[in-house]
Copies of this chain bind each other. A is one copy, B any other.
Amino acid sequence: MKQPLTEEKVFKDPVHNYIHVQDTIIWRLINTKEFQRLRRIRQLGTSYFTFHGAEHSRFSHSLGVYEITRRIISQFERSGYGDWIPEERLLTLCAALLHDLGHGPFSHSIEEAFDMNHEDWTCRIILENTEITEILRDVEEDFPNKVASVISKTYEHAIVVNLVSSPLDADRMDYLLRDAYYTGVNYGTIDIDRILRVLRPYNGRVVVKESGMHAIEDYLMSRYQMYWQVYFHPVTRSSEIILRQIFRRAKELVQEEFNFKFMIEPLSDLFRGELTVEQYLLLDEALVQTAFMQWTLEEDELLSDLCNRFIHRKLYKYVEMENLDLETIDEIRRSFGAAGLHPEYDLEVDFPTDLPYDVFRPGEGFDSKQILLLDRQERLREISEVSDIVRSISGIHRGKYHLYFPQDKLDKAMAQLPSSIADLFRR
């Protein structure tokens, strides 16, 4: 069952030109309904509100991650590097392809709102008798477990885990390139051919030939720019805030046994607690958007207002502040309450670096989150020891506070706010 396809299949891809599929197993995995579902989940969540071109799906991205991994392995094999294990090729490719399988609609927001984790869902989908499970079992009985263990980073051969998740993995390379392409923000354009040329398998991890340091500097700078220009863009953050508020409000209403005009499975179960894999697979962005669209007609004003904002892109505005302490926040909330605004729904405080995004930060010993350079004397050094550029961006805890609020509501309440508070929101 590990046989190659009789003729290579290709997908036309704007980022990599062609995605090359050479194995029957990969071809069959792509055609499962679990993998096809990723077409209905956007790669960048609500970023399309800021960058209208960013409507690409996790399906595209997953194919891209697979393709880059395929090229890395193919480079390793052509060069005959000793530290690569040729038998692990198919396992690595499957893990790369399926890596994001468990993402839900508007993934980061839904994970936060419901305390879920997409990696757990990925493993469950791989293991719990789906079409995916069945195909993987055709390789060998234990293959689903192996794939899941690569994804949960417990697989015995470290090099496989490292290829699939590390600061230089195919996932990050594809999303930088792809998000840059679809948003039109060219900061993400990295020289991937050059990067692939300088990667080496070494002692159970992927390291970088020292002469390739500049290519890695450029890659890390691209990530830095994409984070501040795209991923942390205040308009996107505003839409994520509204999204989370909708989930929060709907959950409250479900708990209060509010009588929804429109409710759809598996949403109500999601609000109540656990979902089965089967139910989870019914979740996609179409369903969430449809619910929101229908909820614009619900009687709960808060819910209906939030859904209107999301669907018609009437987002919260924001002011930026260099500093902000907890006391001030409390004070604002109190004043908001006194002025007839909702102390929580009408004010959100955001500080982008709080988010679990992964601008590279070197640690103390060598760990799997570091990028290591390999010099001619086979000496390993962590990149920020050698590169001033990397050192400079590693230490940056940049970020400003942003207060998000509904401008229209605030305008009406302005007269009731103490002027010290009101001034904060005037720009």
- C-alpha spacing A395/B185, complex, angstroms: 28
Contacts of A185 in B (CB 8 A): 12
Name the distance in Å between A375's Cβ and chain B's nearest Cβ.
12
Name the distance in Å between A320's Cβ and chain B's nearest Cβ.
10
Within A1-45, the residues touching B (CB, 8 Å) are 8, 10-15, 17-18, 31, 33, 36, 39-40
Contacts of A262 in B (CB 8 A): 264
The contact of A52 among B8, B57, B294, by CB within 8 Å, is B57
Contacts of A313 in B (CB 8 A): 31, 36, 39
The reply to whether the CB of A388 lies closer than 8 angstroms to some CB of chain B is: yes
- C-alpha spacing A29/B285, complex, angstroms: 26
- C-alpha spacing A217/B221, complex, angstroms: 10
Task: Contact check, A294 vs B264: say whether CB atoms are below 8 A apart.
Answer: yes
| Residue interface bits A268-300, CB-to-B below 8 A is 1, else 0 | 000000000000001011110110011000000
Given contacts A181-B14, A388-B395, contact A218 B187 (CB under 8 A): yes
- C-alpha spacing A168/B15, complex, angstroms: 26
Contacts of A395 in B (CB 8 A): 388
The contact of A312 among B33, B60, B191, B218, by CB within 8 Å, is B33
Task: Contact check, A55 vs B56: say whether CB atoms are below 8 A apart.
Answer: yes
The reply to whether the CB of A184 lies closer than 8 angstroms to some CB of chain B is: yes
Name the distance in Å between A197's Cβ and chain B's nearest Cβ.
7
- C-alpha spacing A31/B36, complex, angstroms: 33
| Residue interface bits A75-87, CB-to-B below 8 A is 1, else 0 | 0000100000000
Name the distance in Å between A322's Cβ and chain B's nearest Cβ.
12
Beta-carbon nearest neighbor of A294 in chain B: B264
Most buried by B among A36, A186, A193, A388: A186
Task: Contact check, A186 vs B184: say whether CB atoms are below 8 A apart.
Answer: no
The reply to whether the CB of A426 lies closer than 8 angstroms to some CB of chain B is: no
- C-alpha spacing A182/B389, complex, angstroms: 26
- C-alpha spacing A388/B398, complex, angstroms: 9
Given contacts A17-B184, A184-B17, A187-B218, contact A39 B12 (CB under 8 A): no
The reply to whether the CB of A53 lies closer than 8 angstroms to some CB of chain B is: yes
Task: Contact check, B189 vs A214: say whether CB atoms are below 8 A apart.
Answer: no
Within A382-426, the residues touching B (CB, 8 Å) are 388-389, 391-393, 395-396, 398
The contact of A290 among B18, B287, B312, by CB within 8 Å, is B287
Beta-carbon nearest neighbor of A22 in chain B: B78
Task: Contact check, A189 vs B191: say whether CB atoms are below 8 A apart.
Answer: no
Beta-carbon nearest neighbor of A63 in chain B: B52
The contact of A191 among B59, B187, B197, B293, by CB within 8 Å, is B187
Task: Contact check, B282 vs A286: say whether CB atoms are below 8 A apart.
Answer: no
Contacts of A39 in B (CB 8 A): 48, 52, 55, 313
Given contacts A191-B187, A264-B294, contact A393 B388 (CB under 8 A): yes
What are 19 A-B pairs with beta-carbon distances under 8 A?
A12-B53, A12-B184, A14-B53, A17-B193, A18-B193, A31-B313, A40-B289, A186-B191, A189-B189, A214-B229, A218-B221, A218-B225, A221-B389, A264-B294, A282-B293, A290-B290, A389-B393, A389-B396, A392-B392
Sample of 11 more A-B contacts, CB < 8 Å, known A18-B193, A262-B264: A12-B184, A15-B184, A31-B313, A52-B63, A187-B214, A218-B225, A264-B294, A286-B286, A286-B289, A286-B293, A287-B290
Closest 6 CB pairs of A and B: A392-B392, A14-B184, A33-B312, A286-B289, A286-B286, A290-B290
